[in-house]
Structure 1
Amino acid sequence: MGNERAASISKGERIQSLDLLRGFALLGILLVNILDFSGPALYRNSLIHSTGAADRIAEVFVFVFAQTSFYPMFAFLFGAGAVMFYSRLEARGQSPSRYFSRRMTGLLIIGVLHAFLIWHGDILITYAVIGFIFMLFIQRSARSLAKWGLSLILIPSSLFGLLMIGEDGLQVEENGTERITDVYQTGTFLELIRQRAEDWYYVNNFLMAPFLLLSILPMFLLGGYAMKSGWFEKNPSVETAKKWIKIAAAAGPAGLLIKGMPVFFPASVFWSYMHQSIGGPLLAFFYISILLLASYTFREKRIVLFQLFTYAGRASMSNYLLQSVICTALFYSYGLGLYGKTGSLQALLIGLSVYAVLVFMSFLWFKRFEQGPAEKWWRRFTYRNV
């Protein structure tokens, strides 16, 4: 009990800007994931596939403004939180590596249950595995973390990008989508577990492992850099705020340009790869810097939208899991069975509605409790190994 109490974070210790960013990232993740919850998007050649104008506009919006930007953003925040975790334990004279290893083990357990019993698109397993690798870097200086993070993004992306110039994309046959749609619409729970496992391995196989590592570990490192550089202090310096302005001014236009290119050149392997490897992180940094700058500028005011994001972000893991529970109940056979029956715009509106429900539930929850239910179990597992 002593370890758990010593390591607990009180409401007053929470970093509001971190919760704000987590809440915003959750919204972006849900806008991307809802198209997978509602249909076989994983097996389509492109997220942009509809012929109807409204659905196509919705898909372009998600493709450019959300896809490949919010999981990197969440990874950035994960890295920042990990550095904060280490520093607080070191300040209390405890062993950060020991407890962080337990923390990643607990995350892995949650991820496995989520991936195979709820939804295949889980990211927690990958975060947990790469989190163990991150331990090799986490106590390095801010400068070292920045160098490693930027190098792991720019060097591999440049090399792979050069190899892909002029290449046309291979069109994958989508015949299997009818079978997958039938399973999620009408299958038994056991059939759904088998399909989830197949879907999970489709993304998380040995061939994809290097790409997953190179998309997530650098953002962990850069999040660690940001925490060590004072980005999340209650009163960041004017110099830090000026840095956010420069990042936003450069990353926003560049990110939108790169992410928009596959819309005009859909057959280009080069632009598809750059959309994910460079455009996604750039737009993530635009969102991060803009929100941190807004939080800094309006720190003395109560902005309702910021408060709503913060409520969701305080229980980010619980809400991440809950969005999967709610959405699979809406779309899978054991619920309403809407899988494959909604257009992209409808799915997007459902996603926004689900997020509104999660925010309201978070608001009510934090009137009585200090932590989300998943966060509370995770903390107990970390410090008491229950």
Structure 2
Amino acid sequence: MRSAEPGPGTGRIAALDVLRGVAILGTFASNAWLFAQPGGPAALLSGGGGFADDPVQAGLLVLSNGKFLALLTLLFGVGLEVQYRAAVRRGLPWPGRYPVRAAILFVEGLLHYLLVFEFDVLMGYAIASLVVAYLVGRSDRVVRVAMGVVGGIYVAVLLGLTALLAAFPGDPAGTAPAPPSTASWTAQVAERVANFPLYRVELVLIVPSAVVLFLAGSRLMRAGVFADSATGSRIRRRLMVLGLGVAAPLNVLTGFGGTAFVLVDRYLVAPAVAFGLLALITTVVLRGPGGAPRRGLTAVGRTALSCYVLQNLLAAVLCFDWGLGLARRLDGAWPWWVVGLWAGTSLLLVALSTLWLRRFDRGPLELVAHRLLPAPSRTTPRERQRP
């Protein structure tokens, strides 16, 4: 059995790096619209960012909203499984020092939220990963029960909220306050501190979703979805039927369904599409040749955390009034200039990550996190958790 084409001498699974690269750039395809609002991401919670008002933007968001973030979340779960296997193989305790790793990620996310972006996901990932770290090594039965309980409650809550949105639709006409100013970076930071509960309320949805998707990614890895084998091929075909044959058409309906379906569209349908994307991209990597696009995506994938933060920082500098102020200057060119913002930033990330990896084996933030981790301590086989 050949496992998704490891890179020469690296032991890395090539499909994972490509998938992470696609997920990072795809996530920015959704976030770029938030930065391009004249009031920045905060305008979304003050009545701005009306995605349904522009059919072109709504159509472009159908291609990106939620599904690449869900793909990134699945891949984080795969990464947890890889770390768990490495610990068992080396005779190290699990979760061992992982809580420290999760704490570092939480701090990185908190700083990212305060200094750059109101809708950071790293804090939610850190919380969910700490829960999943204690489940990933348990039996399949325990994992299935955990996924069923958390997922069942999560779906019930989302459907309940969707019913409320449908029953009591808002009337935005003339009632939305003016978008917040982006003229001062320090004022933005103060705003994020003052309104922390408001901007971070999405964690209530991110954390349980991440718990389920992390565990799903772990089990897909164990099932052999990345392996060039008959079993892996069969799993990928089923995922493509589910994600691209069933969920993707449904995603079009929910994407144009108005504000009542915004939660279902982003948090239920989009993750289902992500399973199909994972299967399709893995199949392409296994069957297709290399080339410049694949090398570029691989470089972004190997520096995923750094690229996630950097793309948002670049967008803030380009769009906000304390930077170049493109959001206000190019407001008349909406929505097409936002596509250029995404494309230009993505090409820059590919170039920078490629150059960086010529000297280092991981991204700058990844290096910082690695050096902050305490040295591992060995244990005996009886002290380990087993799959």
TM-score range, shorter chain: 0.7 to 0.9
Q: Which residue of 2 aligns with 1:120?
A: 118
Q: Which residue of 1 aligns with 2:241?
A: 249
Instruction: Pick the aligned partner of 1:193 from 160, 182, 189.
Output: 189
Per-residue CA shift, 1:301-335, capped at 9, x if unaligned? Answer: 32432222111100000111111221111112331
The answer to whether residue 217 in structure 2 is matched with residue 218 in structure 1 is no
The answer to whether residue 48 in structure 2 is matched with residue 57 in structure 1 is no
The CA distance in 1 between the partners of 2:73 and 2:174, in whole Å, is 31
Q: Quick check: 2:297–2:350 contact (8 Å CA) kept in 1?
A: yes
Q: Quick check: 2:20–2:301 contact (8 Å CA) kept in 1?
A: yes
Matches for 1:49-88 after TM superposition, within 5 Å = 49-51=52-54, 56-62=55-61, 64-88=62-86
**Segment drifting more, 164-173 vs 36-45:** 164-173
Instruction: Pick the aligned partner of 2:137 from 123, 136, 139.
Output: 139
The answer to whether residue 326 in structure 2 is matched with residue 335 in structure 1 is no
The answer to whether residue 358 in structure 2 is matched with residue 367 in structure 1 is yes
Counting matched residue pairs gives 360
Instruction: Pick the aligned partner of 1:228 from 207, 222, 233.
Output: 222
The CA distance in 2 between the partners of 1:243 and 1:160, in whole Å, is 28
Q: Which residue of 1 aligns with 2:295?
A: 307
Given the superposition, is the C-alpha separation of residues 177 and 361 from structure 1 closer, same or farther in structure 2, using an over 3 Å criterion? farther
Instruction: Pick the aligned partner of 1:266 from 248, 258, 261.
Output: 258
Q: Quick check: 2:225–2:236 contact (8 Å CA) kept in 1?
A: no
Instruction: Pick the aligned partner of 2:275 from 277, 285, 290.
Output: 285
Given the superposition, is the C-alpha separation of residues 260 and 102 from structure 1 closer, same or farther in structure 2, using an over 3 Å criterion? same
Q: Quick check: 1:145–1:224 contact (8 Å CA) kept in 2?
A: no
Q: Gaps spanning 5+ residues in structure 2: where?
A: 1-6, 38-42, 377-387
Q: Quick check: 2:48–2:179 contact (8 Å CA) kept in 1?
A: no
The CA distance in 1 between the partners of 2:175 and 2:8, in whole Å, is 52
Pairwise CA distance, 1:50:
4.2
Given the superposition, is the C-alpha separation of residues 360 and 79 from structure 1 closer, same or farther in structure 2, using an over 3 Å criterion? same
Given the superposition, is the C-alpha separation of residues 310 and 43 from structure 1 closer, same or farther in structure 2, using an over 3 Å criterion? farther
Pairwise CA distance, 1:173:
6.9
Given the superposition, is the C-alpha separation of residues 157 and 93 from structure 1 closer, same or farther in structure 2, using an over 3 Å criterion? same
Letter in 1 for 2:322: Y
Pairwise CA distance, 1:148:
3.7
- State the secondary structure of the residue aligned to 1:93: coil
Pairwise CA distance, 1:297:
1.9
Pairwise CA distance, 1:382:
1.9
The CA distance in 2 between the partners of 1:104 and 1:78, in whole Å, is 12
TM-score normalised according to structure 2 size: 0.84
Q: Quick check: 1:254–1:279 contact (8 Å CA) kept in 2?
A: no
The CA distance in 1 between the partners of 2:222 and 2:140, in whole Å, is 6
The answer to whether residue 13 in structure 2 is matched with residue 15 in structure 1 is yes
The CA distance in 2 between the partners of 1:147 and 1:238, in whole Å, is 28
**Segment drifting more, 101-110 vs 304-313:** 304-313
Per-residue CA shift, 1:269-291, capped at 9, x if unaligned? Answer: 3x333212321111111111100
Pairwise CA distance, 1:143:
5.9
Pairwise CA distance, 1:14:
2.1
Per-residue CA shift, 1:165-187, capped at 9, x if unaligned? Answer: 5635324578665341xx21x22
Q: Which residue of 1 aligns with 2:371?
A: 380
Pairwise CA distance, 1:246:
1.6
Letter in 2 for 1:282: A
TM-score normalised according to structure 1 size: 0.84
Per-residue CA shift, 1:77-101, capped at 9, x if unaligned? Answer: 1111011112112211222312111
The CA distance in 2 between the partners of 1:263 and 1:145, in whole Å, is 31
Q: Which residue of 2 aligns with 1:3?
A: none
The CA distance in 2 between the partners of 1:91 and 1:308, in whole Å, is 31
Q: Gaps spanning 5+ residues in structure 1: where?
A: 1-8
Letter in 1 for 2:324: L
Per-residue CA shift, 1:17-75, capped at 9, x if unaligned? Answer: 11111000011110111111121245447652445xxxx3133221x121111221111
Q: Quick check: 2:46–2:179 contact (8 Å CA) kept in 1?
A: no
Given the superposition, is the C-alpha separation of residues 358 and 174 from structure 1 closer, same or farther in structure 2, using an over 3 Å criterion? farther
Pairwise CA distance, 1:158:
4.9
Letter in 1 for 2:197: Y
**Segment drifting more, 37-46 vs 326-335:** 37-46
Per-residue CA shift, 1:354-374, capped at 9, x if unaligned? Answer: 011000111111122111111
The CA distance in 2 between the partners of 1:150 and 1:304, in whole Å, is 41
Letter in 1 for 2:301: G
Letter in 2 for 1:212: I
- State the secondary structure of the residue aligned to 2:220: helix
State the superposition RMSD in angstroms: 2.7
The CA distance in 1 between the partners of 2:157 and 2:120, in whole Å, is 29
The CA distance in 2 between the partners of 1:216 and 1:25, in whole Å, is 15
Q: Which residue of 1 aligns with 2:4?
A: none
Percent identity at matched positions?
A: 20
The CA distance in 1 between the partners of 2:365 and 2:134, in whole Å, is 27
Given the superposition, is the C-alpha separation of residues 135 and 67 from structure 1 closer, same or farther in structure 2, using an over 3 Å criterion? same
Pairwise CA distance, 1:155:
5.6
Letter in 1 for 2:215: L
- State the secondary structure of the residue aligned to 1:161: helix
